[in-house]
Each structure stands twice: as C-alpha cells, then as structure tokens.
Chain A
Amino acid sequence: DQQVKQNSPSLSVQEGRISILNCDYTNSMFDYFLWYKKYPAEGPTFLISISSIKDKNEDGRFTVFLNKSAKHLSLHIVPSQPGDSAVYFCAAGIGDSWGKLQFGAGTQVVVTP
C-alpha cells in the first residue's frame, strides 16, 4: 500500500512566485521526512529534511512544514527559479529502519519565466 502520497502530479508556477508542494502519509510511525529533487537522467538529490519533533525546517529558499496531526507535510520554495524545474519526491522513514525510505510518486514542477 502507498504510505506516502503526493496527489499533485504536476505544478506550474511563475518565476519569483512561491511553489508549494504537498505530501500526505498514513503511517504514524514515520519519524522523519525528506524531500528529494530529481532532474531527467540523473539520480534524486537530497534537498531538505525534518524530524517529527519539529514543525518547520528552513534552508535558504526551501522550507518544509510538518503537521503531524494531519499527517501532512509541505515544501515551500520562495522565490521559485527556472532551475527549480524538476520532479520533487517526498520520502519518510522510521528511526530504527536504518535509512530505508518510503517515497511518494513525485510532483513535476515547471517554473515559467
């Protein structure tokens, strides 16, 4: 069963605006979450993570928000840049699973001029 879901397969946003990517999960045992970014013909690259004991983590233009009661997290990119056009994957893990992750299906982001 799909424990991590990204319900929006694609997102188009204008350069300079905010991109908001959403992710829902079903397993309350997950205690950390990550976002990966993937360009065509390349492997995913780690972007940002958050522990379940926090509700926000910020790194430059990227902020991840976690709402544990709703089992929902989001990634905000502000401001969006053309180089941000990529597929973004949400992933979740359990602390004692030694890094094994459950991934969502991804959201294709297109940043237009």
Chain B
Amino acid sequence: AQSVTQLGSHVSVSEGALVLLRCNYSSSVPPYLFWYVQYPNQGLQLLLKYTSAATLVKGINGFEAEFKKSETSFHLTKPSAHMSDAAEYFCAVSNTGGFKTIFGAGTRLFVKA
C-alpha cells in the first residue's frame, strides 16, 4: 500500500524567503513522486515529478524537490517566495505497475508582503 503525509496544513512565509513544504511517503515498490499546485478555483497542475532518474528534480516556477530514499521524503523547496506562489500544494505517490495516484492532504502556502 502507498501513502503520503504532508507535514503542516498551512505554511506562511515572507516574500523573498525560502519555501519548504514537507512530504513523506510510504511505498513497497519504487515510487513515482509528484508535486501538484492548485490555485483558487482551478484544477491541479503538475509542478514536478520524480521517476527514478536524478534525485534532485527541477520544476516550473523555480521549484525543486529532492528524493531521499533513506528518509522516504520528497520535500519541495523554492529559494525565494513570490506573492504568486500563494496556493495549495499537493504531494502525490504512484508506482510503475499501475495508474492509481495517492494524494496528500495538501499544504496551503501563504506569502506575506
């Protein structure tokens, strides 16, 4: 069985500060890992994904995430927050043998001016 835990339902940072959103996963097989972003009144959009290639994955809008197998983590970071980064972020896990994707509960990011 697979699962995802996102630590912190809300994270608040100042504009220009580091963004760190935490995600831990559980999977009995090599996982695919994803971060999606949801802006108000919109569907989810893919930010980045890990599929067993490089452990440091770069995505859109300056975000990146590092796959750490020993820690079963896939934390999302961005060096400098922008007001437009305010949204809800979902970590998700899937596997190579199927299509089903398990989403975390989401972390809402607030960016203060």
A-B complex is real: no
Interface set of B (CB-CB < 8 Å, partner A):
none
